[in-house]
Amino acid sequence: MTALDDDKPTPRGELVIQVIPLPSDTNPNGDVFAGWLVKQMDIAAATMAGRISQGRNATVAMDRMEFLSPLRVGSQVGCYGELVEVGRSSMKINIEVWTLDRTAKAPRKVTEGLFVYVAIDEHGRIREVPAQNG
């Protein structure tokens, strides 16, 4: 059993961004680059981190990722975020990626990854994450 095994058929977390890969996002074989997907995940996690910390952040770590199934050009790609932990200045955010192919009836999971952000000020120094309600 790996960290990517998931018996839940639906995404975990809130939908943060939804994008559609274009032909320019593929390698010469027509497959979507993993790096393109990691970029979308980083954007989604950074969007959440900005909301949570109410300001600027830096990505300090990304956990290991495995890719379960390929991404097709023209499919819908959703990045779902879940706040896992808040430290003094850090935030751990899990991002799940699910895709819906143009002809498919149900979405399928592509990958997930844990992203760690640190709240920083305008000088790049760490700052405290404001207390979270609830």
Ligand X SMILES: CC(C)(COP(=O)(O)OP(=O)(O)OC[C@H]1O[C@@H](n2cnc3c(N)ncnc32)[C@H](O)[C@@H]1OP(=O)(O)O)[C@@H](O)C(=O)NCCC(=O)NCCS
Q: Which residues are CB-neighbours of 72 under 8 A, at least 6 positions away?
A: 21, 32, 99, 101, 102
**Closest C-alpha among 60, 18, 58, 22 to residue 41:** 18
Q: Does 110 engage in binding with ligand X (CB under 6 A)?
A: no
Site size with ligand X, rule: CB under 6 A: 12
Single residue of 56, 82, 89, 107 touching ligand X by CB under 6 A: 89
Binding residues among 39-58 for ligand X as defined by CB under 6 A: 58
Minimum CB distance to ligand X, residue 26 (Å)? 23
Facing residues of 61 across strands?
A: 116
Single residue of 44, 49, 52, 116 touching ligand X by CB under 6 A: 116
| Cα radius of gyration rounded to whole Å, the chain | 16
Minimum CB distance to ligand X, residue 117 (Å)? 8
Pairwise CA distance, residues 81 & 126, whole Å: 23
Interface residue list for ligand X (CB under 6 A): 58-61, 87-90, 116, 118, 120, 126
